[in-house]
């Protein structure tokens, strides 16, 4: 019986193969100074698991952090860099907390980045998020020093875009659902428990 790593790997290979023609014409880097690209010319890669390696210059101590992004790596990289600069974002990730500790203790360091897995994010058709599953598996396998246990137990963040969304109408919401393989939008309205219902009409009651 195939284990979880084999199942995820097989699925990812199929997804990557199906998109190979498109990927071959996709721009992978938009850095003006190509040698300074944080991901060696692949900063525009999407839907991936990455590893950050923090090396202390004076002690050669190495710490690692594993993260994911459904967006481009460069977008996630810029978010990390922002959390390294702005004090109010120092607790954004375990990585930023570590970087701020090094800065506070006047320790010199450098950070290198690499892709360790490419996976598909949550799909309403598959009802699975191989991106989050890959991250959890790799954290367990590689045992990065900076990741916290709660990251393994956390729920998938990529389902949020399919949940209730606020609209211009204060008491109405949109929800993207997959009905028989097709995306459809429905409106859910908060109504009183005792509101009369017309024949054939259904209410979804949202208590506030």
- Per-residue pLDDT tens for 84-118? 999 999 999 999 999 999 999 999 999 999 999 99
Helix (H, G, I), strand (E, B) or coil at 56: strand
d(CA 143, CA 113): 17
- Per-residue pLDDT tens for 8-39? 777 676 666 655 555 445 789 999 999 999 99
pLDDT beyond 60 at 194: no
pTM of the model: 0.68
Helix (H, G, I), strand (E, B) or coil at 110: strand
Q: Enumerate the domain spans of the chain.
A: 4-155, 163-208
pLDDT at 159: 84
Q: Extract the tokens encoding 60.
A: 């050669």
Beta strand 62-72 with 46-56 is antiparallel
By C-alpha distance, which of 51, 204, 76, 80 is closest to 138? 51
Question: What confidence tier does 203 reach under pLDDT thresholds 50, 70, 90?
Answer: very low
pLDDT at 127: 87
pLDDT beyond 70 at 74: yes
Buried b / exposed e across 70-92, counting CB within 10 Å, b at 16+?
A: bebbbebbebbeebbeeeeebee
CB 120 within 8 A of CB 19: no
d(CA 113, CA 24): 22
CB 157 within 8 A of CB 121: no
pLDDT beyond 70 at 151: yes
- Cα torsion angle, 32, 36, 41, 42, sign: negative
């Amino acid at each position: 019986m195939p284990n979880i790593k084999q199942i995820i790997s097989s699925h990812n290979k199929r997804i990557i193969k199906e998109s190979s023609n498109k990927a071959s014409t996709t721009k992978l880097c938009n850095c003006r100074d190509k040698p300074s690209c944080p991901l060696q010319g692949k900063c525009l890669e999407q839907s991936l698991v990455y590893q950050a390696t923090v090396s202390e210059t004076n002690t050669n101590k190495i710490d690692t952090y594993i993260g994911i992004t459904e967006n481009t790596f460069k977008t996630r990289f810029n978010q990390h860099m922002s959390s390294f600069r702005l004090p109010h974002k120092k607790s954004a990730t375990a990585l930023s907390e570590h970087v701020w500790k090094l800065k506070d203790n006047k320790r010199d360091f450098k950070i290198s980045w690499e892709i360790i897995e490419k996976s598909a994010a949550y799909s309403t058709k598959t009802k699975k998020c191989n991106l989050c599953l890959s991250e959890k598996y790799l954290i367990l396998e590689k045992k990065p020093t900076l990741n916290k246990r709660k990251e393994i137990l956390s729920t998938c963040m990529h389902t949020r875009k399919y949940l209730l969304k606020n609209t211009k109408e204060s008491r109405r919401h949109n929800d993207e659902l997959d009905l028989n393989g097709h995306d459809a939008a429905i409106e859910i309205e908060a109504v009183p428990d005792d509101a009369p219902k017309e024949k054939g009409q259904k209410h979804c009651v949202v208590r506030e």
